[in-house]
Amino acid sequence: MTHTWQIATVTDAARARIATARLAAACGVSTLERTRLATSLSAHLRQCLTKGGTWLLTLHAPASGADDGLLHVTVVPDRDSCAAGEGPWRRSVACPETAGATDGEVPDDPAVLAEALLGADEDTALTLEKLAEQEELVAFHREELHQTNQGVLVLHAELDAAGRAQREAFAAERKARTEAEDARRRLTFLADASAVLTASLNHEEIVRRLPDLLVPRYAGSVDVWLFDQDDNRRHRAPHPAAAVLAARTGRPQYAADHPGGLPGVDDQPPSALNPDRPLLCIPLPTRRAPLGVLTLSPPGERWDADDAVMLIELARRASIAIDNARRFEHNRDIAETLQRALLTDLPATPGLGLAARYLPATHGLNIGGDWYDAFRQPDGSLITVIGDVTGHGLHAAVMMSQLRTALRAYAVDGGSPGQLLTRLHVFLHHLQPDLYATAVIARFRPDDPTLTWAAAGHPPPVLRMPDGQVRVLDAKPGAMLGIPLRQEIGDHTVRLSPGSTLALYTDGLVERRALGIDPGIERLAAVLGGFGSAELDADLNGSADRILEPLLSDSERDDDVCLLLCHVDSTARLAPGRASTAAGRPRT
């Protein structure tokens, strides 16, 4: 369905607009779209009237069965109009319905025009109502958007704060990890340094090790001032004033041209002896009085506070190590003096040479229960004995002295070696129930080729024959002295010939932890068998040293060593005696 109007005046334009609006309403065009179409058409027609001439308005509404379902509006200038050549104006709107029968004519009646105007106002009102709804919707969405933006801003702020907190947490974690690593490093150094300082019982060695421990990691230079060393020097070396103050007050001092800020350390002016370098003077405290002062210069510009605390603790530990070493050296000197005083001068016996050696252990207090003795009985017999009291220290040495004294007292009444050991066993059991001992007693009679001996839990004697063969006198020994057991220790005898040598010894000579005692006895037998009778006749003391040398090639000994050699001179004349009744193992 097509309608065409000629428009040359305002009235023509108004009628065309009314017809367009009616046709759009008949086609079911919505009020909003209809208003948009009418408003757009009015605006264009106004422009056309302004330009002048005649214009043709064409409306093409879809008929029943139309394909596109659109209402087409076209405005073109009339061919004879002065606006000929102007391009067409087109608009199209969707038509939900098919237009009914209408001629499209609008009567020239004011009432119709007024009704059309009111209808247009109604459409405008509906449009404005729709517009108001849209504005409210826009305002609602604008508020929602504003709230969303605020939320986004808050979220960004929270994310930023969370990011800062995370970065701060990471930084704190790195700092804590670094501090923990530094603390671990200091504790490890302190533990290692303590182990080094306490490994020695020589105070001079400890003092020498301090610079090696501290330079160059924690100090540029190290000076150890021990007060008693100054007393032994004719010319005392000058010491910084801060070191003297540390010695007097017992507090660490820091001497520099700037404050140190070190915990527990007093600041002092720079030292006149070395004004260009800071000095940290730490007293070496003990339970009684300071031993001296440790003076350090920094490895760089200054010390870290935690390093200074660690150095003060190291000085305390070094002071304890030095003090303990000095105490040990003092006690060792006393113990060695006592040990030497307890050892016996060997008696001179015609035809029988004696040589003894005692070596203290290289570890510990250097005093133990090893002992030897040789003395005469009233009948002229010579008693030789070697023994070992369990344990070390002054207590063991005192018990060893008591056993030696008791043995000499018992020997005055006579008695064989087995009887003497039996009486010593009873004596020790009643005197010290928790202390035990081992011993070997050998008796030599003048002009008698028979040796009588007895053992109680002690390594067996070793006998070298004149021909160089060696026998281990391992006949059944008694149990250890002092154990809670009643025992009668038996005697054994063996024939001696001129040139024979009997070796009595303690387990420190032959026993090694990794090997046991038997290999050591084998080595002693081999070394003793390598000597000749003439060599033993000429220099028994030198032979004792040469016996010890290969057996003690290792410089570290955990136990005392005692050796007693009894050598029958090759030229001695012994009365004939009965054959040996001793059980022994020959060693060649």
Residue 429, Cβ neighbours under 10 Å: how many?
17
- d(C-alpha 399, C-alpha 390), whole Å: 10
Does residue 463 contact residue 500 with C-beta atoms inside 8 Å? yes
Apex CA 555: angle with CA 549 and CA 560, to 5°? 80
Structure tokens at 210: 């301090």
Identify the H or E element spanning 155. helix 110-198
Alpha-carbon span 465 to 528, nearest angstrom: 10
List Cβ neighbours of 478 (8 Å cut-off, separation of 6 or more): 418, 421, 422, 425, 454, 455, 456, 457, 487, 489, 490
Distance CA 152, CA 127 (A): 36
Q: Which CATH architecture group holds 2-108?
A: 2-Layer Sandwich (3.30)
9, burial (CB in 10 Å: exposed 0-12, middle 13-18, buried 19+): exposed
**Fold of domain 203-337:** Beta-Lactamase (3.30.450)
Task: Give the residue extent of every domain in the chain.
Answer: 2-108, 203-337, 343-587
CA pair distance 456, 445, nearest whole angstrom: 21
Least Cα distance to 386 among 367, 358, 347, 360 occurs for 358
What does DSSP say about strands 266-268 and 253-255: parallel, antiparallel, or unpaired? Answer: parallel
Report the alpha-carbon angle 482-424-580, nearest 5.
110
Give the separation between CA 470 and CA 447, rounded to whole angstroms. Answer: 23
| Backbone φ, ψ for residue 75 (5° rounding) | -125, 120
How much is the pLDDT for 432? 80
Class of domain 343-587: alpha beta
Q: Which of 364, 296, 303 is nearest to 336 (CA)?
A: 364
- Residue 506: per-residue pLDDT: 92
Residues whose CB is less than 8 angstroms from the CB of residue 83 and which lie 6 or more positions away in sequence, other chains included: 48, 51, 52, 53, 55, 77
Q: How far apart are CA 379 and CA 388, in angstroms?
A: 27
- How far apart are the C-alpha atoms of 125 and 130, rounded to whole Å? 8
Q: What are the backbone angles phi and psi of residue 107, rounded to the nearest 5°?
A: -65, 155
pLDDT of residue 111: 72
3 state SS of 449: coil
Q: What pTM value is reported for the model? A: 0.55
Q: What pLDDT was estimated at residue 558?
A: 65
- Rounded CA-CA distance 350/572 in Å is 9
15 SS3 class: helix
Q: Which amino acid, 485?
A: L
- Give the pairing type, strands 462-464 and 368-376: unpaired
The pLDDT assigned to 364 comes to 54
Query: Pick from 45, 15, 17, 10: which is nearest to 123 by CA?
Result: 17
Tokens representing 194 are 């303590």
How do beta strands 221-226 and 292-297 pair? antiparallel
Q: Which amino acid is at 576?
A: P
What's the CA gap between 582 and 451, in Å, rounded? 9
Contact 227, 247 (CB under 8 A): yes
Tell whether omega for the bond before 298 is within 30 degrees of 0, i.e. cis: no
DSSP 3-state assignment of 6? strand
For residue 358, which of 375, 339, 377, 374 has the smallest C-alpha distance?
Answer: 339
Q: Are 396 and 367 in contact (CB under 8 A)?
A: yes
Say how far apart CA 250 and CA 241 lie, in whole Å.
Answer: 14
Residues 6+ apart with CB under 8 A from 368: 360, 361, 388, 389, 391, 392, 393, 396, 397, 559, 560
- 102, two tokens: 């209408």
Q: What is the pLDDT along the chain (588 residues), one digit of tens a residue?
A: 788 888 888 888 888 888 888 888 888 888 888 888 888 888 888 888 888 888 898 988 887 655 578 888 998 888 776 666 678 899 888 888 776 555 556 666 777 767 776 777 777 777 788 888 888 889 999 899 999 999 899 999 999 999 999 999 999 999 888 888 888 988 998 899 889 888 888 888 999 999 999 988 888 889 999 987 755 554 566 888 988 999 898 899 999 988 888 898 998 998 888 788 899 999 998 877 788 999 999 988 888 888 889 999 999 999 999 988 888 888 777 767 766 676 778 898 888 999 999 887 765 555 667 889 999 999 889 999 999 988 766 677 778 888 889 999 999 988 999 999 999 999 998 888 778 999 999 999 988 889 999 999 999 999 999 999 999 998 888 999 999 989 999 999 999 999 999 999 998 898 887 778 889 999 999 999 999 888 898 899 999 999 998 888 765 556 788 999 999 988 766 555 443 334 445 544
